[in-house]
Amino acid sequence: MADQAHAQTTARSPRTAVVIGGNRIPFARSGGAYAYSSNQDMLIAALDGLVARFGLQGERIGEVAAGAVLKHSRDFNLTREAVLGSALSPETPAYDLQQACATGLETVVGLSNKIKLGQIDSGIAGGVDSASDAPIAVSEGLRRVLLDLSRAKTTQQKIRILGTLRPKDLSPNAPGTGEPRTGLSMGEHQAITTAAWQITREAQDELAYRSHHNLAAAYERGFFTDLMTPYRGLVKDANLRPDTSVEKLATLKPVFGKELETPATMTAGNSTPLTDGAAVVLLGSEEYATAHNLPMLANIVDAEAAAVDFVNGEEGLLMAPVHAMPRLLARNGLTFDDFDFFEIHEAFAGTVLGSLAAWEDEDYCKRVLGLDGALGSIDRSKLNVNGSSLAVGHPFAATGGRIVASLAKTLSEQGGRGLISVCAAGGQGVVAILEARN
């Protein structure tokens, strides 16, 4: 069956797009090692590490696509500026993309599609985020006053406009992860979903524990030596707690869902912390990789985005990947059983466990996803085998690049097929399939 599916999945594309390799900087906790690094600094560091790994100095890459979720307005051309600051050829074009936490994965999808179509032969996809160096906006009141002032002609007009300024207008708006349409933070949204799917505190702590355990084991094996370049003295993800235990995690106080009727289960241990970091992935056509004597870790097969109505509808904010998944599998004639590795981004342990529960729920799958029955269950031993965001941390736009490079390497070592699922703010999500080359 796997062979037949393979033929189906690759036959449709005009050309094959492959993952050649990746590079990221270790992820730092917000206010930590990269407290004074900008998004551009970190993206340049990630690019330069990739250039060094693959000898791309002065190369004109087909296109570089990346983005940041927390972005200064001056960084409108963040990726292009990073390219100019990197060791790549200044003739390498670049564009910015922003799709909340799905940014990184979506850049991979976009560039791999261009490669498949023959529009480019090589591409670098990725993302960066700094929660430390986040933009702070002036209040709406102050912004209006400043704009009016710039249009005022006479001194009298200026004095009158300044007179409308109120003290509260002077305090800045810190960036929030709150949803503009509901006012709820992402954690509070997830708390609703976590409660609705009756995900226990124990199950969430267990998932968090496994994330740290798997990440620590991956470091121990040297898994990251060709996926990572240290930055600013940081050589490992700062959030990793190799010695954490389910017992230790159980002592943490809940932080989200305290207003709900059900007991609050989400803690700082089973939710991702604010993180700084950057990740990039080198993509190419098979011809490009061959001509440059570069490795081919995995094929990028297909991807699907979805969005849900979390504002007026019933669905949870981070449940969009649950909707995208059956559509992607159906299009490729695959089921969960055809996959050897699952990378489900751990925004919160509850997100992963809620998604798994939803796919296993016959009633939900019929009623909400319009399927004939449950989509299926995922073998936990195949899930996030090298750790995921709970342990690594989650610099929003960098997570997609991290996942794609790590999964591609796993596939090159162990063969098989891998499935990626990333949820995003705004009720969105992207899922994608990678496949080993033999």
Partner 1 sequence: MTDRYVDLVNTPLAARLAKALGLPRPSVLRRYTPGEALATKPVLVAGSGAGADALAEVILGWDVEVRRHVLPGEKLSAAVVVLDAADSPADLSAPLLELGQAVKLLVPGGRVVGISRAAEDTSDPARAAARQGIDGALRSVAHELRGGATANGIVLRGQTTTTDPSTIGALRFFLSGKSAYVDGQLIEVQAVPEDSVSDVAAATAAEGEGVPDRPLDGRTAVVTGAARGIGAKIAEILARDGAHVIAVDVPAAGEQLAQVANRVGGTALQLDITAPDAGTRILEHVGQRHGTLDIVVHNAGITRDKLLANMDAARWDSVIAVNISSQLVMNEQLLASPVFSPTGRIISLASTSGIAGNRGQSNYAASKAGVMGMVRAQAAAFHGGARTINAVAPGFIETDMTAKIPPLTRQVARRLSSLQQGGLPVDVAETIAFLASDAAAGVNGQVVRVCGQNLVGA
Q: Mind telling me the catalytic residues?
A: 101, 394, 423
Minimum separation from the CB atom of position 235 to partner 1 (A): 5
Site string for partner 1, 205-234 (x = CB under 8 A): -----------------x-xxx-xxxxx--
Candidates 9, 22, 37, 48: give the one binding partner 1 (CB under 8 A): 48
Binding region for partner 1 (CB under 8 A) out of 45-53, 152-160, 361-369, 411-419: 45-53
- Residue 14 binds partner 1 (CB under 8 A): no
Please give the DSSP secondary-structure letter assigned to residue 342: E
Task: Based on the shown chain and the rule CB under 8 A, indicate whether residue 87 belongs to the binding site for partner 1.
Answer: yes
By beta-carbon proximity to partner 1, the closer residue of 45 and 195 is 45
Q: How far is the CB of 294 from partner 1 (least distance, A)?
A: 7
State which of residues 2, 7, 52, 146 lies at the interface with partner 1 (CB under 8 A). Answer: 52
* Least CB distance to partner 1 at residue 285 (A): 18
**Binding of partner 1 at residue 45 (CB under 8 A)?**
yes
Q: What whole-number distance in Å separates Cα of residue 406 and Cα of residue 101?
A: 17
Selected range binding partner 1 among 7-15, 186-194, 287-295, 358-366, rule: CB under 8 A: 287-295
Tell which positions 356-375 bind partner 1, by CB under 8 A.
none
Q: Any idea what the Cα angle at residue 384 is, between residues 325 and 21, rounded to 5°?
A: 90
Query: Does 150 interact with partner 1 (rule: CB under 8 A)?
Result: no
Q: For partner 1, which is the closer residue by CB, 219 or 359? A: 219
CB of 215 to partner 1, least distance (A): 15
Task: Show the binding pattern over residues 171-210: x = contacts partner 1 (CB under 8 A), - = does not.
Answer: ----------------------------------------
Among 4, 150, 156, 293, binds partner 1 (CB under 8 A): 293
Helix axes 201-220, 349-360, angle to 10 degrees: 110
Q: Binding pattern to partner 1, positions 233-262, x when CB under 8 A?
A: --x---------------------------
**Which spans of this chain sit near partner 1 (rule: CB under 8 A)?**
45, 48-49, 51-55, 57-58, 87, 222, 224-226, 228-232, 235, 293-295
